Structure 1
Amino acid sequence: MPFLLHSFLVISKFPCNLKAFPCNLKTMSSQENGSPEYPTWPEFKLPELLSTDGVRQVHATIENEWDPLQRSACQTAAGRALWKHAVHDPLADILAGETYLKSLHEKIKKDCVNKAREISGVILAVRTLWFDSKLEAALHSFDDREAQVVLLGAGMDARAYRLSCLKESNVFEVDFPQVLQIKATLLQAAMDSTNDHQCLMMTAKSITRVEADIRSDDWLEKLQISGFMPEKNTVWVLEGILYYLTDSQATKVLKIIADKCSVTHTVLLADFMNKPSTSLSNSIFHFYSDWPDHLLPSLGFSHVKLSQIGDPDAHFGLLHDPSNLFNKLRSLPRTVQTHPDDGTPCCRLYLVEASGSPNQTIP
């Protein structure tokens, strides 16, 4: 369904040349003849926990009963698991499952063989790290006061179990009932296991799972019934959500969050597709914004900062080749929607931080 965390744009929907060498591998070494030698990605060893009957049955349920968009939450987890040299997410492998781990690993191996400039999943790795860093900074901006973090379309997100910056925060995960129930079952299996997961524990102050559809009119009411307090400082995390909503649905969700700026210090972290990106799959992607830094102030946010993959705050040492696709896009004005060199669509993913408070001045 539309508002789960997804990796379509990371793994399968963007052009096949979107791939990048990881920061902990040597991208090339000099041979005697001076030509570059490209490394291979380390072989992936399937965690033992994924071989247990209980976990296999859970992932079989996902395969048999979830629709493609719901299952893509597992693809996202697979990306985080296989980019573990950059993203610390010890729970990602069990949340992903064998099918998606093996599928992405095969893509990564092919990229290495083909000496690609960017390896599959790099967008997801950078996006995850950007959200992590901005979430930590937002919480610190509250002067260490107790805060709330709301993840809309939480999917297989495990931040409440891996980010120490959440130690004073009440975390709310909003998603479909079947997604949250399956996720809870997998997390419990990880906690109960006797392997490396046994020492894992929740890092957030608390976590509350809210079964709701953000396309409906009652998700905010359900959130408040579950303990969300509108007057408390809040960070709203919308990672991989908005473009699966219709224009009216996405705008309504953003407006609901923007209205909270008149009540308390509010921070929004979200990613936006531009119009050419939605053409990658018109049946899946709907909402887009070529200028989210203009849209959000019109809804009620006073401060907006936009980044693109490859910018100084959205790089994280994972994009070594200066001729990578992201740098090519960044060198073009955002008004350009077709690349002048090859005629391909300029598919951009914008990473956006917006905020507001009761004493704000909207530009």
Structure 2
Amino acid sequence: MRSPGQAREPKGASVTTGQQWDIVTSVGLTALGVAAARALESHREDRLMSDPFAAAFVKAADAPAPMPTSPQEVAQLPEDSTWAQARMEDYIGVRSRCFDDFFAAAGEAGVRQVVILASGLDARAHRLDWAAGTTAYEIDQPKVLEFKQTVLDGLGAAPECAHRPVPIDLREDWSAALAEAGFDTEAPTAWLAEGLLPYLPPEAEQQLLTTIDRLSAFGSRLAVEDFNDIRRLFEDEDLADFGQEWGLDMRDLLHSDDRPEAPDVLRGLGWKTEVEGAEAKAASYGRDLSGMFGEMADASRFVEARKPA
């Protein structure tokens, strides 16, 4: 996080160096903001998903700026706050529902091993109805997972499946840590990369996808949040202003470098892919994506891939 007057770091410096972060710094702070959006979505009568833990995560953190978790708290924000205009919960509600549905379909197809990469503060292991025999592995920064587990323990929350946190930075040898936690390379796996790829430089994204392929048995599935033209987000001053309320410049965290498109990479590895734009997905749920995050929705797409036998 930059102090006033401090020079801007190179784009993506926060996630390409050896720096670690907790839940109120760097990428960890964005996970807290997403939790606030899930809490707001959970209050809607037309909610697409429900997260009973999201507000508790936000309340337990010492965030540098207010993050509302209810409509009443939104109404109490200063007039110049961008939270009310952003309607971040619209997009996050659609994204969360999309990937919740992905896991439900994987379970119905008999997949009983789940890996959530950079899981952040979405406690899916605790809030979803999992098929009997499911084991969910969550990979994220040690401090992020420690914070999440402390809050869940305080709430007396129990997971709905076998839950195995894997506290490691994705820039390290996370596949070895996953194996040590009990991951079975012979079992089909449902993988999720949500809110992750834009924070990775091109070479790290390529390595992530090839590692997933190497670890995946036939019948595995992968869901990815991808962006087909992330450059446009760097031109959105409203998005930049939104991040500044948290003390972040999102353009310092996201990578706009040219890179092969994720669906093409997966097809090249032999996976069958389906791609749906966020706006089309929202329309299928009866949700209109507008407001400040409309530009993000226009660039966002959800990729689902399967590794055939």
Q: Same fold (TM over 0.5)?
A: yes
Q: Which amino acid aligns with 1:176?
A: Q
CA apart distance, 1:95: 1.4
- Counterparts of 2:286 and 2:77, CA distance in 1: 20
Per-residue deviation, residues 61-95 of structure 1 (Å, max 9, x unmatched) = 967xx413212211111111111131211111111
SS of the aligned residue for 1:237 comes to: strand
Q: Which residue of 2 aligns with 1:307?
A: 276
CA apart distance, 1:316: 1.7
CA apart distance, 1:246: 1.0
Q: Which residue of 2 aligns with 1:203?
A: 160
More helix by share: 2
Aligned residue runs from structure 1 range 147-186, under 5 A = 147-186=112-151
Is the alpha carbon distance of 1:180 and 1:294 closer, same or farther for their aligned partners in structure 2, counting shifts above 3 Å? same
CA contact (8 A) 1:77 1:93 kept: yes
Alignment partner of 1:292 is 2:262:
yes
CA apart distance, 1:312: 4.7
Alignment partner of 1:82 is 2:40:
yes
1:71 aligned to which of 23, 26, 29: 29
- Counterparts of 1:110 and 1:137, CA distance in 2: 42
CA apart distance, 1:125: 0.8
- With normalisation by structure 2, the TM-score equals 0.73
Q: Which residue of 2 aligns with 1:120?
A: 88
- Counterparts of 2:114 and 2:76, CA distance in 1: 33
Q: Which amino acid aligns with 1:267?
A: R
CA contact (8 A) 1:250 1:287 kept: no
Is the alpha carbon distance of 1:291 and 1:176 closer, same or farther for their aligned partners in structure 2, counting shifts above 3 Å? closer
* Identical aligned residues as a percent: 24
Is the alpha carbon distance of 1:153 and 1:178 closer, same or farther for their aligned partners in structure 2, counting shifts above 3 Å? same
Is the alpha carbon distance of 1:96 and 1:258 closer, same or farther for their aligned partners in structure 2, counting shifts above 3 Å? same
- Counterparts of 1:267 and 1:346, CA distance in 2: 24
Is the alpha carbon distance of 1:258 and 1:79 closer, same or farther for their aligned partners in structure 2, counting shifts above 3 Å? same
- Counterparts of 1:265 and 1:108, CA distance in 2: 49
- Counterparts of 1:94 and 1:81, CA distance in 2: 9
Stretch deviating more after TM superposition (79-88 or 271-280): 271-280
Higher relative contact order at CA 8 Å, sep ≥6: structure 1 or structure 2?
2
- Counterparts of 1:254 and 1:316, CA distance in 2: 29
Alignment partner of 1:350 is 2:308:
no
Is the alpha carbon distance of 1:90 and 1:167 closer, same or farther for their aligned partners in structure 2, counting shifts above 3 Å? farther
SS of the aligned residue for 2:221 comes to: strand
Q: Which residue of 2 aligns with 1:271?
A: 225
Alignment partner of 1:228 is 2:169:
no
CA apart distance, 1:314: 6.1
Q: Which amino acid aligns with 1:350?
A: R
Alignment partner of 1:100 is 2:40:
no
Q: Which amino acid aligns with 2:144?
A: V
- Counterparts of 1:133 and 1:166, CA distance in 2: 13
SS of the aligned residue for 1:307 comes to: strand
Q: Which residue of 2 aligns with 1:214?
A: 170
Q: Which residue of 2 aligns with 1:139?
A: 107
CA apart distance, 1:134: 1.3
CA apart distance, 1:278: 5.2
- Counterparts of 1:256 and 1:277, CA distance in 2: 29
CA contact (8 A) 2:277 2:298 kept: no
- Counterparts of 1:230 and 1:283, CA distance in 2: 36
Aligned residue runs from structure 1 range 243-262, under 5 A = 243-261=198-216
SS of the aligned residue for 2:88 comes to: coil
Is the alpha carbon distance of 1:167 and 1:251 closer, same or farther for their aligned partners in structure 2, counting shifts above 3 Å? same
SS of the aligned residue for 1:174 comes to: strand
CA contact (8 A) 2:276 2:301 kept: yes
SS of the aligned residue for 2:36 comes to: helix
Per-residue deviation, residues 212-256 of structure 1 (Å, max 9, x unmatched) = 11122x110010001111111101111001110111111100111
Gaps of 5+ in 1: 2-60, 192-199, 330-344
Q: Which amino acid aligns with 1:207?
A: H
- With normalisation by structure 1, the TM-score equals 0.63
Q: Which residue of 1 aligns with 2:152?
A: 187
Is the alpha carbon distance of 1:164 and 1:294 closer, same or farther for their aligned partners in structure 2, counting shifts above 3 Å? same
Name the count of aligned residue pairs: 260
RMSD (Å) for aligned C-alpha atoms: 3.3
